[in-house]
Structure 1
Amino acid sequence: MTQLLSGEYECKLDPKGRLVLPAKVKGNLPEASGNQLVLVRGFEPCLVLYPRAAWRIIHEKVMALDEFNEEYRQFQRNFFRGMTEVELDSIGRFMLPGTMRRYAGIEKEAIIVGLGNRCEIWDPTRYDDFLIKDQPTFSKLAQKFLTLDPTAANPLAA
């Protein structure tokens, strides 16, 4: 059975810029990932944390893009910049590099949001700004996306 990363967790960074991965998130990481995770900049102003197996699938798809196409190269360059491997220590902490914290605006507190194959790490204020506050809009999106073939809504799925 596939374990999914889910939930929303409020966390504090320690003075060295480390974040403790919540026990429920850590417990749902695939065993094959061990303590190795991949941290990248998100498309929104957040960070995205992937188990190695999930990252490998995305990495292969992005690397399969034609390097002789300028648009693909620009995407690859921006997608991979700042990508870093992080390792959980014995108590489940990992370092958020300064450049990544500045990108996401994360200072002392963070929200970790499990999204199935990955987690997003947000500054609490920015996270709140990106949430849908209008329930009718959220309902319409749910109807739109949940009545579609899931592979049609996700061009990376195949």
Structure 2
Amino acid sequence: MTVQIAIGSDHAGYNLKELIKEQFKGEGVSFVDFGTNSTEAVDYPDIARPVAESVARGESRFGILICGTGIGMVIAANKVPGVRAALCHDVFTARAAREHNDANVLTLGERVTEAGLACEIVRAWLQAAFQGGRHERRVNKIRSIEEEFCGRCLQKREDSAVD
């Protein structure tokens, strides 16, 4: 069974993550929490990776990652092949990220986005749908860049294993 949302945060995004989880509970949205479970310091890549992998493997339909600014999470999540993470600061970019870019991971910054607005951003992002059409061509170009570089990385690993 696919869980609707994989959600995670570092310590700087913990409070906003908990607020969004409450929103999900009230709206009946299924989710799995990948941590962290307190405001004690953790490294954001340690949270971003399992959330992004859950989305890439199809175990979760979408992912939401929160840190202080959202920047570290978006960088880390986008390293996982198959993930198209978008950092959004307003409702318009949240909708556009889904409609035009087929973003499957949303990142937010607790220190830079007011909590009420963050909840609106999440709602808008989840309600939007990929429009396909001319956008499909562009997303496919992103996929082919990813495939090309993933192939090169695998080849480099194979070559270095032979040495």
Q: Do Structure 1 and Structure 2 share a fold, with TM-score over 0.5?
A: no
When the two structures are superposed, what TM-score results if normalisation uses the length of structure 2?
A: 0.28
Q: Give the number of the structure whose residues are more often strand, by fraction.
A: 1
More helix by share: 2
TM-score normalized with structure 1 length: 0.29
Higher relative contact order (CA 8 A, sep 6+): 1
